[in-house]
Structure 1
Amino acid sequence: MGRSRPGERGPPSPGPAAPTAPPPLYTRTLALLGAVLIAAAAAVTARAYARLTEAQAAARQQESAVKALGTEGLFLFSSLDTDQDMYISPEEFRPIAEKLTGSIPTTSYEEEELPSDPSEETLTIEARFQPLLLESMTKSKDGFLGVSRLALSGLRNWTTAALPSALFAARHFRPFLPPRGQVELGEPWWIIPSELSVLTGYLSNNRFYPPPPKGKEVIIHRLLSMFHPRPFVKTRFTPQGAVACLTAISDFFYTVMFRIHAEFQLSEPPHFPFWFSPAQFTGHIILSKDATHVRDFRLYVPNHRSLNVDMEWLYGASENSNMEVDIGYIPQMELQATGPSIPSVILDEDGNMIDSHLPTGEPLPFVFEKIKWQQKLSWEEAARRLEVAMYPFKKVTYLPFTEAFDQAKAKNKLVHSILLWGALDDQSC
């Protein structure tokens, strides 16, 4: 019982179980995932290889360009090749063509943006300009030792305003009006907002020609072009832009005070860039609330300090080339309206056009009603608010050296002394 007889076999012992075949759907999923991973890896490899190939091609192209043109020649070529495709298009070559032929296009973006209208009021703006005093530059103390004469050629040759006078329509100054709903005295708003920050860094030094102005930049560009043909309405460094605030309000008029940070490029190829950065442009405009009439306009670089201009120029053909820096003093850089805006066409009561001149040849005199201001803000307070808008650190009061100790003693506080090469609250330091 329980034993097997000789010659008989017992039941076969169970062996290892055969592997179970995976479901068909699972197999297909794994295969598809593997294919996707392989394709993704191949795509990444292809992109990396393409970038490497492009970088190698660009390096070879750069090396070839240096051999063909030399470092200085490549710098000139790159300054014209704005899209960096290593080809000069007719549009990119235009500045050189104009310089060589002496021709100026019959139309420009300014004329397209600021069309004339014979039925509107116009005013004449005059430019008053006295060149920078070379003896005010620190490098003049040693006779500009080590400074190339070519480097300063643009500065030395800039002795007069590019355009002594120009005619503007009153409505061209509409960008100086406050934003809709903003009618508080002294509340700043941006005419041209800054596009730079600590994160964005600064704009390139290696430029000659300003970008075409857009929108509210157009009127400021046109005004500054009266001084020099290459104004940049946005500076390379912060604080950039233009800020304004109301200083007086009447039933029909505003007085607007403004502050503009702009700079000029005084050189053209084949010279290296030379940047001329006034401390600031400030001024005011009195205009009607619908911008159909301008009663007064003035824009100028303040000249009450011993230094009011920063200058920087390159000594090489790249962004990392050596740069010289200096500061100086310009006695006068000013735009002033010769009088209020007046109608371009004068009509009588029946709508007929009449002569705008007296029999003697003199223009008809216009009598303007005196403006009765309902609210006013002092110039000093308005200037302070615009200053704080440009330089938020000015919310803290900075005092002259001697006054600081009197305040410290009265408030029982310590004195933090700062020594500056120029002014703290403008571009000349």
Structure 2
Amino acid sequence: MDWTILRELRKMVSNWCSAWPFPSKQESALKALGTEGLFLFSSLDTDRDMYISPEEFRPISEKLTGSTPTASYEEEELPPDPSEETLTIEARFQPLLPESMTKSKDGFLGVSRLALSGLRNWMTAASPSAVFAARHFRPFLPPRGQVELGEPWWIIPSELSVFTGYLSNNRFYPPPPKGKEVIIHQLLSMFHPRPFVKTRFAPQGAVACLTAISDFYYTVMFRIHAEFQLSEPPDFPFWFSPGQFTGHIILSKDATHVRDFRLFVPNHRSLNVDMEWLYGASESSNMEVDIGYIPQMELEATGPSIPSVILDEDGNMINSRLPSGEPLQFVFEEIKWQQELSWEEAARRLEVAMYPFKKVTYLPFTEAFDQAKAKNKLVHSILLWGALDDHSPILTLLNESFISTWSLVKELEDLQSNQENPSHKKLADLHLEKYSFPVEMMICLPNGTVVHHINANYFLDITSMKPEDIENNVFSFSSTFEDPSTATYMQFLKEGLRRGLPLLQP
């Protein structure tokens, strides 16, 4: 998890207020409009000049008049080709299960229905079916000269990192997609009309690798980090961020034929969506965060791409779509793959490309403690979301001295309620006893005893302080690292070793 996420949630409003260039006008506006009115005004006043220009007012105008903004981009079109192949893609969508939300369930107590209206009203895919030309999928081809099986490449590079910050939450409409972003934007628009191809937080973008190669075809597996804005003015922004989109495409090496395509949000874990929404303008109640489960969010081709007409060598049409509208019937040759890579291995490589800290193996919860017992090592455990960045000193220490795991709270609650395995129940009990929202990092003995832990909020407090203001030398910064987050996490791990190693069984 990018630590800037949590830091941004707590400081966004205070930063907004301190950055306002007209404090006296801000006070007058607050008296005239109230906190929520001023917040709406600020969401439109993008240049912070205390004046709403016609362009800034456009989102409200479109909302009130019912008009929709015209697309401000055009895909780079190739000359029309009547014989080019097209394929039909269908969207399958089951809405998020409200009862899966961890903080806002039980009838969404304490959360206004208005804040969740975009989520509640999103019951079906925006476009159940759409037709694409095969050539639209050219961005999924590997870069020239890169044909190594399993070697990742970026379709859409991430422009953010823990060092470069994050993008504003206070937005409603996606920026115009460019280049290779266009096809992904069009695909995701089948689910909802406001997809953001680049997420607010790192890692952004889309990464891919080859999983099979033949004489004429590639199978490409991909992973996409994108999110959706479910609200429009005058409502407050509501961000819907699936953990990932993944899938595969089988296409010819010249992208004139697509044999198969599938894109989906993985649903094998109990939670797979992050949600964040603004619901007021005060510092204490500005942003709400929750996670939940969406059973199905999937796109799939109904069959291989086919031409609508067949031309002879002179360009004369010799066959076309039947009068009934039924497509032409084709028999496709069987593809003989020369090299293949398993889905599991490809998924692992794409995950490491997105999250370099995954170079450390994170085992399933109970398996991690089994290995810790066998190897007489401490367990480095993260409860709820993953953490860390690509800092080699931390990776080295984790690989050498710890067995690592990360878990969702709900998964441990399921273990806790399972009476059939008392040892697993005890491990879950010990973890949940130390857990506080949103993320808890722990160092444990192989029997599950927690010898050291730190909450993400406290971690952020430490890393946002100046070194001279820190009194607790357990979390003092080291001059070895430029990044306070890295230094503090290294100190956390070392303190865990200091406390835990003497307690390991000889």
TM range (shorter): 0.7 to 0.9
One-letter amino acid matched to 2:330: F
1:385 is matched with 349
Residues 318 and 221 (structure 1), Cα distance of their counterparts in 2 relative to 1, 3 Å cut: farther
1:154 positional shift: 0.7
Residues 425 and 237 (structure 1), Cα distance of their counterparts in 2 relative to 1, 3 Å cut: farther
Q: Distance in 2 between matches of 1:61 and 1:321?
A: 23
1:186 positional shift: 0.7
Q: Is 1:158 equivalent to 2:151 in the alignment?
A: no
Q: Distance in 1 between matches of 2:38 and 2:79?
A: 42
Q: Is 1:137 equivalent to 2:101 in the alignment?
A: yes
- After superposition, give the CA deviation of every residue in 1:2-33 in whole Å (9 maximum; x if it has no partner): xxxxxxxxxxxxxxxxxxxxxxxxxxxxxxxx
Q: Distance in 2 between matches of 1:382 and 1:303?
A: 18
Work out whether residues 309 and 321 of structure 2, in 8 Å CA contact, stay in contact via their aligned partners in 1: no
Q: Is 1:200 equivalent to 2:164 in the alignment?
A: yes
2:80 is matched with 117
Residues 312 and 420 (structure 1), Cα distance of their counterparts in 2 relative to 1, 3 Å cut: same
Paired residue secondary structure (1:275) = strand
What are the equivalent positions in structure 2 for 1:14-413 lying under 5 Å apart? 58-104=22-68, 108-113=71-76, 117-119=80-82, 120-139=84-103, 141-317=105-281, 322-358=286-322, 362-413=326-377
Work out whether residues 204 and 319 of structure 1, in 8 Å CA contact, stay in contact via their aligned partners in 2: no
Work out whether residues 213 and 219 of structure 2, in 8 Å CA contact, stay in contact via their aligned partners in 1: yes
Work out whether residues 308 and 327 of structure 2, in 8 Å CA contact, stay in contact via their aligned partners in 1: no
Residues 293 and 130 (structure 1), Cα distance of their counterparts in 2 relative to 1, 3 Å cut: same
Work out whether residues 206 and 318 of structure 1, in 8 Å CA contact, stay in contact via their aligned partners in 2: no
Work out whether residues 88 and 129 of structure 2, in 8 Å CA contact, stay in contact via their aligned partners in 1: yes
1:79 positional shift: 2.4
Q: Distance in 2 between matches of 1:224 and 1:256?
A: 18
Residues 355 and 82 (structure 1), Cα distance of their counterparts in 2 relative to 1, 3 Å cut: farther
Q: Which runs of 5+ in 2 are unaligned?
A: 1-18, 387-404, 409-437, 440-506
Greater C-alpha radius of gyration = 1
- After superposition, give the CA deviation of every residue in 1:69-109 in whole Å (9 maximum; x if it has no partner): 4433333233233344444444433333332232335x524
1:391 positional shift: 1.3
1:58 positional shift: 2.6
Residues 272 and 318 (structure 1), Cα distance of their counterparts in 2 relative to 1, 3 Å cut: farther
1:33 is matched with none
One-letter amino acid matched to 2:315: G
Paired residue secondary structure (1:417) = strand
1:191 positional shift: 1.1
Residues 348 and 408 (structure 1), Cα distance of their counterparts in 2 relative to 1, 3 Å cut: same
TM-score normalised according to structure 1 size: 0.79
CA-based RMSD: 2.7
Residues 232 and 406 (structure 1), Cα distance of their counterparts in 2 relative to 1, 3 Å cut: same
Q: Distance in 2 between matches of 1:331 and 1:244?
A: 24
Higher normalized contact order (CA 8 Å, seq sep 6+, divided by chain length): 1
Work out whether residues 274 and 313 of structure 1, in 8 Å CA contact, stay in contact via their aligned partners in 2: yes
Work out whether residues 104 and 290 of structure 2, in 8 Å CA contact, stay in contact via their aligned partners in 1: no
- After superposition, give the CA deviation of every residue in 1:303-352 in whole Å (9 maximum; x if it has no partner): 11111111111122478852111111101000111111122432245422
